[in-house]
């Protein structure tokens, strides 16, 4: 049986560009839909956060104000409730050994921008996974977590690699706009990644070797399914 480490942000707030504090957390669909696809295929999924803190779901990801229908919100909430025991007691990222896993999976919500993007322990895991050719998957704002991985010279580990992320257009249409701490797509380009984007709010998955990335919440299931295909390959 394959085993995947799902690393979820532990942040419940973030500082915006104007200096104000904004509540945040992981995006319900990205955790629930991804986890459901992986577990349905028989994959063992362990959850980890920085410091082993219980992750917080972004309230907007279960609300029509966040573009989520009432029926979808009920479905995501029900699935998250079904894995509450794992969410309540996650592993600490610093305690994880990459040798125990076949892949790392990084769901989003704005929260990864607040902690995972600068987490040294995660960066070391991503570097080790890449060195061993293990699958690294990231979704939406979770792609910002890849920024934690740097080379000895300070360069970005994933510079030159093709990937996608929540786009600047999507951030301005339905996210925090220019009040975001930074724009994930732009930051990845600045660090040397080759960012490939599709139409806003449509599923887009980009695969480059061991790296699999999804553009937005709508890409959750397709990203997880692409990870399964890579593991079976």
Q: CATH no. for residue 70?
A: 3.40.50.880
pLDDT in tens, 66-85: 999 999 999 999 999 999 99
Average pLDDT over residues 196-209: 98
Cα-based angle 160, 122, 148 (whole degrees, multiple of 5)? 40
- The mean pLDDT of 211-227, rounded to a whole number, is 98
| Statement: the pTM of the whole predicted model exceeds 0.85 | yes
CA angle 137, 217, 20 (to 5 degrees): 100
Task: Write out the residue range of the structural domain in which residue 164 sits.
Answer: 3-231
- pLDDT, residue 203, reads 98
Q: Could you give the number of structural domains in the chain?
A: 1
Collapsed DSSP state (helix, strand, coil) of residue 223:
helix
Exposed/middle/buried for residue 132 (C-beta within 10 Å: 0-12, 13-18, 19+) = exposed
Residue 227 exposed, middle or buried by CB count within 10 Å (0-12, 13-18, 19+): buried
pLDDT for residue 105 is more than 90: yes
Cα–Cα distance for residue pair 17/207, rounded to 1 Å: 31
């Amino acid at each position: 049986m394959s085993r995947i480490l799902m690393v979820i942000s532990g942040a419940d707030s973030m500082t915006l560009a104007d200096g104000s504090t904004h509540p945040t957390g992981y995006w319900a669909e990205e955790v629930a839909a991804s986890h459901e696809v992986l577990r349905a295929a028989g994959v063992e999924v362990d959850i980890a956060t920085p410091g082993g803190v219980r992750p917080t779901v972004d309230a907007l990801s279960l609300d029509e104000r966040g573009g989520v229908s009432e029926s979808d919100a009920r479905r995501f909430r029900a699935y998250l409730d079904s894995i509450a025991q794992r969410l309540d007691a996650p592993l600490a990222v610093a305690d994880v050994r990459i040798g125990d896993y076949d892949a790392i999976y990084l769901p989003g919500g704005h929260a990864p921008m607040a902690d995972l993007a600068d987490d040294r322990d995660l960066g070391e895991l991503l570097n080790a996974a890449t060195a061993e050719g293990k699958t690294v998957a990231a979704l939406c704002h979770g792609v910002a977590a890849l920024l934690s991985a740097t080379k000895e010279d300070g360069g970005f580990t994933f510079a030159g690699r093709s990937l996608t992320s929540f786009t600047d257009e999507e951030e301005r249409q339905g996210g925090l706009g220019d009040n975001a701490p930074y724009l994930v797509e732009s930051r990845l380009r600045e660090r040397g990644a080759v960012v490939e984007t599709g139409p806003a709010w449509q599923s887009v998955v980009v695969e480059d070797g061991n790296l699999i990335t999804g553009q937005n919440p709508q890409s959750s299931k397709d990203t997880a399914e692409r990870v399964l295909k890579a593991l079976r390959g």
